[in-house]
Structure formats: C-alpha cells, structure tokens
Amino acid sequence: MEVTINIDGQALSVEVTVEVYEYLDKAGHKEENLAHEKRRHWDSREFDEYIILTEGRSCYYQTPEQWVCRKETMLEIKAALALCTEAQRRRFLLYALDGLSYAEIAGLCRCSKAAIQDSIEAVRKKIKKFF
C-alpha cells in the first residue's frame, strides 16, 4: 500500500505493508479522537453539571445561623479590641487587616519598629486573655 508522508511541507509517497498501513490508519483515528476529547474537556476537566454549578456566578446567601455566628464573633472581637489603647488598636489593625509590615507601620506612626512589635504583641496577649 502507498502512504503519503509530509516532511517540512514536502509530500513523500512511500510503499508500506498492509500491517504498517493499518497501524498508521489507527494512529490517525486515535489522533482525531484525542483532538475531539481535548475540545470536549475545557481546562482538563469534564464539562458536566458540577462544573456548571461551581464555576457559575451565583450569589452567596448566609444561613440565619451563619449570620448570627458572624455577628457574635464580630461583637467579641470589638469587645476584645476595646481593652486596648487607641494606638495599639490602630497598629494591630494595620498589621492584621491591611497586611503592613512592622517597618511600614513604624513609618506611618513615626515611631520605632520595636514599639510597633511591642504594641501588636500586647494586643495579642489581651485578646488571648479575653478569649
């Protein structure tokens, strides 16, 4: 049987046995099937109801229990922070919520890095005692 092979844009005809022809034919079909599978599986996962559900843009709704727990936790955190001085609270929130480093907070508050570290550690100790 005769098979045409493309090498660098040049078509080359080659005479092969029936077994080699069948093998190449099966390989071509396999390559085509893989291409179809690749198109079916976007980002390497099966496109099914689970992906549609999880990847879809749906609104998040809290249950009443989650809402109450969140409110209680927030009240406890506020009560614990009320035990701290204004400077300690401000420094702790800059560190914990804004993610600033000790050096950055020291620059904002115009004090030493050690003072910031001491303030944050004091707040942590007060919170641990509170809880």
**pLDDT for position 45:** 58
**With left for phi above 0 and alpha for psi between -120 and 50, is residue 58 left, alpha or beta?**
beta
pLDDT, residue 59, reads 64
pTM comes to 0.49
Q: Nearest Cα to 91, choosing from 69, 119, 71?
A: 119
The confidence score (pLDDT) of residue 43 equals: 59
Helix, strand, coil content of the chain in percent (nearest 5): 70, 10, 25
pLDDT-wise least confident of 10-19, 82-91, 106-115 = 10-19
Residue 51 has pLDDT above 70, yes or no: no
